[in-house]
């Protein structure tokens, strides 16, 4: 039985903050097929195109028939525990701080046997398990086994929490309270057990409808935050930078224009200022302190979420500036990811199709309801994902990009 995570005490100011350590990071090029799957929450292993056998670990040729046709393919997630090893002592600096650590040898239903990280509620040898690929603290894919059925407080398992970014007892900053997703996110975060939700709002002198709804949520505090102002961001970071364990960047600026319009440069500059430059300003102010707090107790800094348009992956002319701005954000997020990884803090990109909001009024359905986006982000945090695709449009573009990016460019760009 998993011990429920105790509510963390306030930080003892006399005790040194632990510096983040990371698990071993080296992987082969092939093994990043597992990283790709883990990032999106899929369970994929190599499956031989010739003989059809699954194989693990990742390799260049099929161990059964020596075929080099060994693509990654979705695999059944079941397995049986063959043996369990509880590691009490290790020389590895990261795992030393997490002793004891459970691992097990599992025979996967699809064939191969693998050494996996074992959830505390898994039974002894012979028990059925459910496998997943998880990104560990250094962002590399590992196999993780959980019991087939839910157990009480199973999300609080210490090994599982190392693989996820659960909001429980963590303090969250939503950067743009005027975003249509802010209220839904704040509600979902409180429901997920977040200790506190700071919601940034720019230009408080401009009234907005959702303010009352935000203020009505217990544990929500509205703070001044203007993503276009370096000073505003830095001042907030001075106040609460060391209290933010999850940052959700909801910045957006949708202003349709045509590439050849006289004012398009201004529209683009404003969009870039709010989104790409805003992300960079946020990274400068909140990145260093979050990275340094990746091991600050059981509820240390753990995730940075960017809400991005899926059109950042392939430009849609109707929202050309918006697409370009989000493409810039995507590039910056990869840079940020490599920086925050050193502190064990994961960067999650939630790619969404058009939201069911005023700026996408003329776009035909399917559109994404703010609550659906908020729920997908919660799911991503709780499962420790890195790439989330929300809504039919985003999922469709993801699948087609995987297949043929040039075709997507032609089709979306029409």
Least distance from C-beta 328 to other proteins, angstroms?
A: 18
Query: Which residue of 206, 362, 365, 403 would you call a contact of other proteins, by CB under 8 A?
Result: 206
d(CA 125, CA 105): 9
Q: What angle do CA 110, 112, 113 make, to 5 degrees?
A: 125
Of the pair 10, 206, the CB lying nearest other proteins is at 206
Q: Does 260 bind other proteins (CB under 8 A)?
A: no
* Residue of the chain from 84, 109, 270, 379 that contacts other proteins (CB under 8 A): 270
Alpha carbon 102 to its chain's center: 25
Task: State the nearest-atom distance from the C-beta of 229 to other proteins, in Å.
Answer: 5
* Residue nearer to other proteins on the CB measure, 50 or 215: 215
Dihedral, 347, 253, 368, 187 alpha carbons, nearest 10: 70
Q: How many residues bind other proteins (CB under 8 A)?
A: 16
Using the contact rule CB under 8 A, the part of the chain among 11-19, 139-147, 229-237, 300-308 near other proteins is 229-237
211 binds other proteins (CB under 8 A): no
Give min distance, CB of 211 to other proteins, in A.
11
Site track 156-195 with other proteins (rule: CB under 8 A), x = hit: ----------------------------------------
Determine, following the binding rule CB under 8 A, whether residue 263 of this chain makes contact with other proteins: yes
Q: Which of 16, 29, 212, 231 binds other proteins (CB under 8 A)?
A: 231
Selected from 84, 153, 221, 230, the binder of other proteins by CB under 8 A is 230
User: CA 346, CA 339: separation in Å to the nearest integer?
Assistant: 10
Euclidean distance between CA atoms 389 and 40, whole angstroms: 8
State the first-to-last Cα distance of the chain, in angstroms, to the nearest integer. Answer: 55
Cβ atoms within 10 Å of 191's Cβ, excluding its own: 13
Q: Which listed range, 133-141, 265-273, 296-304, 399-407, lies at the site for other proteins (CB under 8 A)? A: 265-273
When asked if residue 27 is in the footprint of other proteins (CB under 8 A), the reply is no
Which residue in 207, 218, 364, 414 binds other proteins (CB under 8 A)? 207
Q: Which residues contact 54 (CB under 8 A, 6 or more apart)?
A: 45, 46, 47, 48, 73, 75, 108, 110, 111, 112
Q: Contact between 228 and other proteins (CB under 8 A)? A: yes
Report how far residue 310's alpha carbon sits from residue 387's, in angstroms, rounded to the nearest whole number.
11
CA-to-CA dists, residue 159 to 85, 144, 155, angstroms? 14, 9, 10
**266 belongs to the binding site for other proteins (CB under 8 A):** yes
Taking the least distance from each CB to other proteins, the nearer of 178 and 337 is 178
Q: Three-state SS for 208?
A: coil
Q: What CA–CA distance (Å, rounded) separates 400 from 213? A: 38
Shortest Å, Cβ 267 to other proteins? 8
Q: Which range touches other proteins (CB under 8 A), out of 88-96, 200-208, 323-331, 387-395?
A: 200-208
Stretch of 89-97, 156-164, 199-207, 241-249 lying at the interface with other proteins (CB under 8 A): 199-207
CB of residue 241 to other proteins, shortest distance in Å: 19
Q: Check residue 139 and give left, alpha or beta (phi > 0: left; psi -120 to 50: alpha).
A: left
Least distance from C-beta 110 to other proteins, angstroms?
53
257 secondary structure, DSSP code: -
CB 211 within 8 A of CB 222: yes
Burial class of residue 381, CB neighbours in 10 A (0-12, 13-18, 19+): buried
Binding residues vs other proteins (CB under 8 A)? 203-207, 226, 228-232, 255, 263, 266-267, 270
């Amino acid at each position: 039985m998993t011990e429920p995570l105790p509510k963390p005490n306030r930080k003892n100011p006399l005790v040194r903050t632990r510096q983040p350590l990371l698990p071993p990071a080296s992987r082969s090029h092939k093994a990043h097929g597992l990283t790709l799957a883990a990032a999106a929450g899929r369970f994929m292993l190599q499956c031989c195109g010739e003989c059809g056998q699954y194989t693990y670990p990742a390799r260049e040729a099929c161990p059964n028939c020596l075929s080099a046709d060994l693509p990654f393919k979705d695999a059944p997630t079941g397995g049986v525990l063959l043996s369990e090893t509880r590691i009490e002592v290790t020389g590895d600096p990261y795992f030393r701080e997490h002793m004891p650590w459970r691992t097990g040898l599992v025979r996967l239903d699809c064939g191969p046997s693998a050494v996996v990280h074992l959830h505390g509620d898994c039974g002894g040898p012979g028990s059925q398990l459910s496998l997943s690929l998880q990104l560990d603290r250094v962002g590399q894919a590992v196999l993780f086994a959980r019991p087939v059925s839910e157990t009480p407080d199973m999300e609080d398992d210490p090994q599982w929490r190392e693989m996820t970014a659960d909001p429980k007892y963590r303090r969250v900053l939503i950067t743009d309270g005027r975003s249509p997703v802010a209220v839904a996110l704040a509600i979902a975060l409180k429901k997920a057990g977040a200790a506190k939700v700071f919601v940034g709002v720019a230009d408080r002198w401009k009234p907005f409808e959702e303010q009352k709804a935000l203020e009505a949520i217990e544990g929500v505090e509205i703070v001044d935050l203007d993503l276009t102002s370096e000073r505003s961001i830095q001042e907030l970071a001075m106040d609460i930078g060391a209290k933010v364990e999850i940052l959700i960047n909801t910045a957006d600026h949708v202003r349709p224009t045509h590439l050849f319009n006289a004012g398009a440069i201004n529209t683009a500059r404003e969009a870039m200022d709010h989104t790409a430059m805003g992300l960079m300003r946020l990274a400068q102010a909140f990145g260093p302190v979050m990275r340094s707090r990746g091991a600050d107790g059981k509820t240390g800094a753990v995730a940075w979420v960017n809400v991005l348009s899926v059109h950042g992956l392939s430009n849609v002319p109707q929202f050309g500036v918006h697409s370009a701005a989000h493409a810039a954000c995507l590039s910056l997020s990869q840079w940020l990811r490599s920086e925050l990884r050193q502190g064990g803090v994961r960067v999650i990109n939630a790619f969404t199709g058009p939201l069911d909001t005023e700026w996408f009024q003329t776009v035909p359905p399917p559109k994404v309801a703010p609550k659906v986006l908020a729920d997908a982000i919660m799911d991503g945090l709780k499962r420790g994902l890195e790439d989330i695709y929300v809504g039919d449009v985003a999922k469709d573009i993801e699948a087609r990009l995987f297949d043929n990016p040039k075709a997507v460019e032609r089709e979306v760009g029409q």
